[in-house]
Amino acid sequence: MPKPIFVLNGPNLNRLGLREPAVYGAETLSDIEKRCSARAHTLGLEVVFRQTNHEGELVDWIHEASEVAAAIIVNAGAYTHTSLAIHDAFRAVEPPVIEVHLSNIHAREAVRHHSYIAPVALGVICGFGATGYELALEAIHKHLTDGS
Ligand code: DQA
């Protein structure tokens, strides 16, 4: 059986739809999960979609993904800009990692310009809202298919 793609979401993303819709859009995380499942289906991929507000849980899931996932798509929310623990966890895993953000973090406050994940990611997609998750699935499908 082919390995799934883990789509991991960090703090406050459970509040999407209610939280700063002008920045993050009106879609809920459940809407995004449905979009991911549908896109994954058309690509012949299986998705495991999760959200947590806890840094250690995200670290545990990265460890789990290293055993069972073909790739990891991650929106670590604010931990992106603060977490050496998440950086270290990604450093030590085999599956390729794509970092996703709904907003364009580079067009926002300076504190959001630095990512602890970007140096250990295959690539970064930001600023395209929920579509970024679908773009990440397409990118990872291509990478797993032809190495690009
Ligand atoms: C975010 C950007 C982060 O800076 C912020 O802390 C989030 C969401 C995004 O998807 O745009 O929680 O990761």
The answer to whether the beta carbons of residues 137 and 36 sit under 8 Å apart is yes
How confident is the model over 50-75, as a mean pLDDT? 98
pLDDT of 116 higher than 80: yes
Considering the entire predicted model, what is its pTM?
0.96
Q: What is the pLDDT of residues 10-33, one digit of tens each?
A: 999 999 998 899 999 899 999 999
| pLDDT score of 139 | 98
Indicate whether residue 101 lines ligand 1 (CB < 6 A). yes
User: For residue 147, how far is its CA from the centre of ligand 1 (angstroms)?
Assistant: 28
Q: What gap in Å lies between CA 148 and CA 145, rounded to an integer?
A: 8
Supply the CATH number for residue 86's domain.
Answer: 3.40.50.9100
* Range of the structural domain that residue 20 is part of: 5-146
Rounded distance from Cα 105 to ligand 1 centre (Å): 7
